[in-house]
């Protein structure tokens, strides 16, 4: 048989994640350009598990959905080796939560020991050991206009034009966006735990929100 008859299957999975009341179609145009630019290298999966009013269900719930969706995609494509996430708005928070769930440490040591090892590797110019995301090598994590610190008094909602009065009004009406609204405005204080977005600025509990990215 000839050697030039078959092409290599792409090994880099790019997962795109939409924002609030968005859908997978929001990333359709960009997905076409990713593939057109790197046809032999990338597979683009526009996440469809959190769309329309399902984006009101909360960052944690949507993050779990996304994690399950990514695992199902990876399972169907055994040739995949690398993974990247590109998200906008609320999608960036959803992706971060999913990544924390999908993260697999490179070793069984705790975070402190892993950090010390990475510092040592950096000083000796050796490649840093890193974990996997859904069993794949993590490459890029990119977000656009994502309110990583929440939308409460941080002027992160362009629609409100940085107005304290409008932000205060939005805070009072955050229930309109369900649990997601509570998360974005840091109103989700439960069981004496800090709001979810504050948990996500560090490695909280058994979820590596920061180390995984």
What is the chain's pLDDT, residue by residue, as a tens digit (213 residues)?
Answer: 344 445 789 999 999 999 988 999 999 999 999 999 999 999 999 999 999 999 999 999 999 999 999 999 999 999 999 999 999 999 999 999 999 999 999 865 445 555 565 555 554 444 456 899 999 999 999 999 998 988 765 555 444 445 555 555 554 454 456 889 889 988 888 778 999 999 999 999 999 999 998
3-state DSSP helix/strand/coil percent for the chain, to nearest 5? 40, 15, 40
Tokens coding 189: 């204080």
Tell me if 6 is assigned to some domain. Answer: no
Tell me if 174 is assigned to some domain. Answer: no
Please indicate, yes or no, whether the overall pTM of this predicted structure exceeds 0.85.
no
Tell me if 165 is assigned to some domain. Answer: no
Nearest 5°: the CA angle 98, 59, 108 is 35
Which DSSP string corresponds to 81-99? -EEEEEEETHHHHHHHHHH
Which residues form the domain of 132? 12-149
Tell me if 171 is assigned to some domain. Answer: no
Domain count, the chain: 1
Tell me if 168 is assigned to some domain. Answer: no
Tell me if 22 is assigned to some domain. Answer: yes
Tell me if 179 is assigned to some domain. Answer: no
CATH code assigned at 69: 3.40.50.1820
CB atoms within 10 A of CB 206: 6
Tell me if 20 is assigned to some domain. Answer: yes
């Amino acid at each position: 048989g000839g050697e030039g008859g078959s092409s290599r299957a792409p090994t880099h999975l790019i997962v795109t994640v939409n924002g609030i009341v968005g859908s997978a179609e929001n990333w359709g145009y960009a997905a076409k350009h990713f593939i057109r630019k790197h046809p032999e290298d990338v597979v683009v999966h526009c996440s469809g598990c959190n769309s329309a009013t399902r984006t009101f269900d909360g960052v944690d719930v949507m993050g779990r959905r996304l994690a399950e969706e990514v695992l199902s995609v990876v399972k169907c494509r055994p040739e995949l080796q690398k993974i990247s996430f590109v998200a906008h708005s609320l999608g960036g928070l959803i992706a971060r939560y999913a990544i924390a769930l999908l993260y697999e440490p490179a070793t069984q040591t705790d975070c402190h020991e892993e950090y010390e090892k990475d510092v040592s590797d950096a000083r000796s110019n050796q490649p840093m050991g890193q974990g996997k995301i859904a069993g794949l090598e993590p490459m890029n994590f990119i977000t656009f206009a994502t309110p990583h610190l929440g939308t409460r008094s941080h002027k992160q909602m362009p629609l409100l034009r940085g107005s304290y009065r409008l932000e205060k009004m939005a805070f009072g009406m955050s229930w309109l966006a369900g649990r997601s609204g509570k998360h974005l405005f840091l109103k989700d204080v439960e069981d004496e735990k800090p709001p979810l977005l504050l948990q996500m600025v560090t490695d909280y509990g058994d979820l590596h929100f920061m180390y995984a990215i």
